[in-house]
Chains A and B, each alone.
Chain A
Amino acid sequence: MGQEITTSQLRKWLLSYAARIIENEAHLTELDTAIGDADHGVNMRRGMGKLQERLKEEKQSDNVSSFLRSVAMTLISGIGGAAGPLYGTFFLRAATSPTNGSSIDLVQLTQMFRYGLDGLQQRGKAQADDKTMIDTIQPAVEAMEAALAAHQSPAVILAAARQAAHLGMKHTIEIEARKGRASYLGPHSIGHQDPGATSAYFLFETAAEVFTKTGAD
């Protein structure tokens, strides 16, 4: 539990996330072509390009909250489509969670995701099982909270988040969309994985990779 994640590790995480999204642009487009307006891949790639530029700038704050706020601002303006305000709000709210200044521990990382999730639900008004990014993020946050309560190691907490996020993402295949453009399709949306739930999954996949690796010391 003593592991501290510094702002620089958060930056590595989001660079890794941006790269993962860009690699998966075609996949996200394909998913969004099936049940949406086919723009999620392009929009996310545009936003991630802006994020990479922002994260590679020389002058960076070491403060976790300012860092997350600047990520939010970049995504609000950079992504476009519904994902812009949603990812923007996620990080804007995450930036208000408790920190140790220039680092966070696993409890605070979990809180950060919880704050982001709450912001997302207020903004998008989506609930679990609406076939949205909430279906990935909510089970991941709950899994982290449960693993923390069970005094698990950071590696186990991060792995639990990733696994729950993955199951949540796959669960969106089975359910009918009740939010967003896909909801116009009603029952025809069943059988397709939600693109937003997919891009959100990569947040937890890359977090598990980056924080587990860099946290070993």
Chain B
Amino acid sequence: MIGLVIVSHSAKLAEGVRELAAQMAGDEVGISQAGGLPDDAQALGTDAFKILSAIEEVWCEDGVLLLMDVGSSVMSAEIALEMLPEQQRRRCKLSNAPLVEGAIVAALHASLGEPLQTVNAVAEAALSTPKLANTG
């Protein structure tokens, strides 16, 4: 069963998204979060080392899917992956999914034991699922 990492500029947002996702997944799926800067929980930003620790926290052989919010969270996540040993790096994936919808969908599918690529595909499909019934 894959693990999930929630990356956000805000520690509060990361924790909130983790909470929403965990509600879908029960206790079985490892979901960790890396939000805000080290030292100062109030400061907004992302930190590659925090992301690295979050990956290690939920690491499993099936892989880890990372879901990011805006802007530099992607760059920080890329740096975190580059710091991993090759063996682990190729089992980690950065998702293009929207953070909230993606995390919820990914948690649900991860809890069903689906593989990394499949979980990511359904999470990314959340990008094209309209929120309002009469649109799209």
Contacts and interface: CB of A to CB of B under 8 A. Distances in A.
A76 interface: yes
Contacts of B47: 76-77, 80, 84
Interface stretch (B20-28, B74-82, B103-111): B74-82
A98 interface: no
Nearest to A180: B71
A123 interface: yes
Interface stretch (B11-19, B37-45, B57-65): B37-45
A181 B71 CA distance: 8
A97 to B, nearest CB: 17
B42 to A, nearest CB: 11
Interface residues of A, number: 18
- Dominant secondary structure at the B interface: loop
Interface in A26-82: 39, 43, 46, 76-77, 80-82
Nearest to A81: B45
A80 B79 CA distance: 13
Contacts of A180: 71
A80 B45 contact: yes
Contacts of A89: 75, 79
A82 B37 CA distance: 12
A18 interface: no
| Interface core residue of A81, A88, A92, A181 (most chain B CB under 10 Å) | A81
Interface of B: 37-38, 43-49, 71-72, 75-76, 78-79
Interface of A: 39, 43, 46, 76-77, 80-82, 84-86, 88-89, 92, 123-124, 180-181
9 contacts: A76-B47, A76-B49, A80-B37, A80-B47, A84-B76, A85-B72, A85-B76, A123-B79, A124-B75
Given A80-B45, A92-B79, 9 more contacts: A77-B38, A77-B48, A77-B49, A84-B46, A84-B72, A85-B75, A86-B72, A88-B79, A89-B75
